[in-house]
A and B are shown apart, each in its own frame.
Chain A
Amino acid sequence: MKALTENGVTANESVTPRPPAKRNSGFWKSVLQQKYLYLMSLPFVIWVFIFSYVPIWGWLMAFQNYKPAKTFGEQKWVGLDNFKELFHDERFYLVLRNTLSMSILGLIFGFVVPITFAIMLNELRGSIFKRTVQTVSYLPHFVSWVVVGGIVYKTLAIDGGIVNDLLMWLHITDEPIQFMAQGKYFWGILTASDIWKETGWGAIIYLAAITGIDKELYEAAKVDGAGRIKQAFNITLPGIRSTVMVLLIMNIGHLIGIGFEKQFQLQNNLVTDYSEVLDLYALKYGIQIMRFSYGTAISMFTSVVSVILLFAANGLMKKFTKESIM
């Protein structure tokens, strides 16, 4: 945590020279001097405490048999019972498999596609075409998953969906394929929808990183006779390495906490064995069936594993590539 503190605070110190903070004046004197700064920040700190830290205190519920009507003192403590039950539930392993499969697919394609797209855009230097492609590519990012869910169902429909119409027109298939009704397609459909929605947005960061690469490197490569594809592999990709690494670490941190919005909007009763992820499992057992303690155990598992993954990824990257986020 200490490393993180220092990074969070000192990383930008070099931007403008700052006078050193006044020392050795008494604590209360400085509070009085800085009363406006305290007045402007403390209310929000309390806010964050209530809405972000108090729920973590709620993790204690995972070790109780929590009943909403009782006070904290009256709750019955059950030790690790909820976790034991969780780890013995077959459904939990199915849900974990779904979560990991979709997040790994998302991790791979969520990097490869936006990076490729950014490199392609970068090859179109400063044209109107480039700006048009970019503006269009941001569009789906601004649309909600509710809308995207509707669009995906429409596009893949068996009656008049463009994908089935195309496949039949090309004689790849004679019968329309029931994409949304078969579990085996779900992970692919979800990943493709996510790529469709976020590629343009994701490319922004990579484009910015590419802009930062020294132009002389490209000139030198040209003189050496390297083509544009070779330049992309030997200059552009190494040039955005640190950006990629930082994003990779953060995404590994989200490997099992991938959210549930897209799964929720794309799923239906026929494919739940493939669509249910940890958060939906927590929603179903924790809130809809009102087994609050069991649901908390699921949430706690997700959160703790996420943080472990984040630190592990950060540590490994630091060791092998000298890149890290904290």
Chain B
Amino acid sequence: MGGKAFQMTKGERAFDIFLYTALTLIMIVTLYPFLNVLAISFNESTDTVRGGIYIFPRAWTLENYQRIFSYTGLIQGFKISILRTLSGTLLGLISASMLAFTLSRPEFRARKFISTFLALTMYFSGGMVPMYILMKDLNLIGTFWIYILPGMVSAFNVFIIRSFMDGLPFALQESAKLDGANDFMIFYKIILPLCKPVLATIALFLAVGQWNEWFTTYLYNGNKPHLTTLQYELMKVLSSTNQGSGMVNANDMARQMAQISPESIKMAITIVVTVPILVVYPFLQKYFVGGMTLGAVKA
């Protein structure tokens, strides 16, 4: 803008005013709910009932946070959520990058077959009930591993990493091969370090997916207090107050049994569940924007 501004016609200027106003409004609509939750979480819960709290707390307090951190279910949920996020991300990265590497090797005889085999899973799925029966038959229900194993290999992630690997110079691999390195060493010592940007993207996708997932806990592990996740604990607490507005879910006994918690407590838990991811994502922006673009071209 700047130097060009004086050349603008009236129409151009009106367009700019519209543009900046509209985008500012979009930002406000996006941010307001978060600021509102934040404000209520720092407000005394007895005062919150009076209503009228928007983006600033009226009666400032840290008590809500002190109270929720004395709630053992939440601490337990935190542990499980962190554990599944770390292990799910790590195993997901290892499997997707190894598979992607083999698919990026032009001489690999099985690669056509494996590509198709994987691609089909993006279009077909057995559905909820057959999956449930399989989990039952494999004795995964009521275990921690049900969070990690079923979704470990993702075709989408494999294809994103492979298209990144395809862009790497092939000469590197050839010279390593001449030096007598085997395929695994080429993967581990040469290709993997070069793939850091795409691996960061996939790690973010996997971590966000693991951290935010609640349905597996709901369906399979809801009655195992030592295995519930943070999202599930939040779900239980949130639904307890929403009952007033008709949020009773007949499907869900756990929800109905949850105690009625004050608004401020709920909002404090919401912040605890949300913040870990919000702290991380702005720093990975460069990577996931690149990864999404790569994925779009390939998928």
Contact = CB atoms under 8 A, between A and B. Distances in A.
A223 interface: no
Interface in A1-38: 1, 4-5, 8-9, 11-12, 15-22, 27, 30-31, 34, 36-38
Contacts of B26: 117, 133, 137
Contact of B152 (A47, A123, A265): A47
Contact of A138 (B106, B107, B285): B285
Contacts of A325: 299
Contacts of B149: 51
Contacts of B250: 269
B158 to A, nearest CB: 9
A144 interface: yes
A157 to B, nearest CB: 7
Contacts of A137: 26-27, 30
Interface stretch (A86-94, A101-109, A146-154, A213-221): A146-154
B187 interface: yes
A205 B296 contact: yes
A283 B251 contact: yes
Interface in B259-299: 266-267, 270, 273-274, 277-278, 281-282, 285, 289, 292-293, 296, 298-299
A287 B32 contact: no
Contact of B52 (A51, A55, A160, A300): A160
A245 interface: no
B234 A59 contact: no
Interface string A131-148: 011111111101111110
Nearest to A272: B250
B285 A135 contact: yes
11 contacts: A8-B116, A12-B163, A30-B109, A133-B27, A137-B30, A159-B51, A180-B245, A243-B296, A283-B128, A292-B133, A303-B127
Interface in A173-198: 178, 180-181, 196
B156 to A, nearest CB: 11
Contacts of A39: 184
B interface residue count range (under 10 / 10 to 19 / 20 to 34 / 35 or more)? 35 or more
Contacts of B189: none
A205 B132 CA distance: 34
A59 to B, nearest CB: 7
B273 A48 contact: no
A201 B98 CA distance: 28
A310 interface: yes
Contact of A180 (B15, B51, B246): B246
B129 A282 contact: yes
B31 interface: yes
B130 A58 contact: yes
Given A8-B115, A136-B30, A303-B126, A58 B133 contact: yes
A52 B126 contact: yes
Interface of B: 1, 11-12, 15, 19-20, 22-23, 26-27, 29-34, 36-37, 51-54, 95, 98-99, 101-103, 105-112, 114-121, 123-134, 136, 149-153, 155, 159, 162-163, 166-170, 182-184, 187, 208, 211-215, 219, 231, 234-235, 238, 242, 245-251, 266-267, 270, 273-274, 277-278, 281-282, 285, 289, 292-293, 296, 298-299
A123 B127 contact: no
Q: Give the interface SS of chain B, mostly helix, strand, loop or mixed.
A: helix
B12 A228 contact: yes
A99 interface: no
Contacts of B278: 139, 142-143
Given A51-B134, A286-B132, A21 B106 contact: yes
B245 A139 contact: no
A140 B266 CA distance: 18
Given A250-B299, A283-B128, A299-B127, A144 B214 contact: yes
Nearest to B273: A147
Contacts of B296: 205, 208, 243, 246-247
Given A16-B166, A52-B121, A41 B99 contact: yes
B129 A48 contact: no
B98 A40 contact: yes
A146 B23 contact: no
A227 B289 contact: no
Contacts of B116: 1, 4-5, 8-9
B170 A18 contact: yes
A4 B292 contact: no
A65 interface: no
A132 B33 contact: no
